[in-house]
Amino acid sequence: DIQMTQSPSSLSASVGDRVSITCRASQSITIYLNWYQQKPGKAPHLLISAASSLQSGVPSRFSGSGSGTDFTLTISSLQPEDFATYYCQQSYSNPPTFGQGTKVEIK
């Protein structure tokens, strides 16, 4: 199975900050990397697919980059509604696997 490792596991940031979360795959997954946002008590919500494709309705302050084994989710200017946990997930091969999550908290 492909292992997905996110860093950091958690971070504290202020409204307006630029935030980056990294995700590393244990082998090349080309661009088959998705990012999800999850708020407490809610289901995950798809933000970005294929490493950098922003989903419809997702604010443009979210962006994704990377290919191969190293990927980044960036929030250009953190908003109050962005405090949540973020997960990466590879769809390159079965089984699909998720990173352990990055919790973004208010500083």
Output 70 or 77, the one with its CB closest to another protein: 70
- The nearest distance, CB 33 to another protein, in angstroms, is 8
Torsion of CA 78, 96, 10, 22, to 10 degrees: -60
CB of 18 to another protein, least distance (A): 25
Which residue, 74 or 100, has its beta carbon nearer to another protein?
Answer: 100
Measure the CA–CA gap between 72 and 6, rounded to whole angstroms: 9
C-alpha to C-alpha distance for 60 and 51, rounded to whole angstroms = 15
Which residues bind to another protein, rule: CB under 8 A? 31-32, 34, 36, 42-46, 49-50, 53, 55, 87, 89, 91, 94-101
CA-to-CA distance for 15 and 101, rounded, in angstroms?
A: 20
* Rounded least distance, CB 20 to another protein, Å: 20
Report the residue number, 17 or 101, with the smaller CB distance to another protein.
101
Residue 80 to residue 64: CA distance in whole angstroms: 20
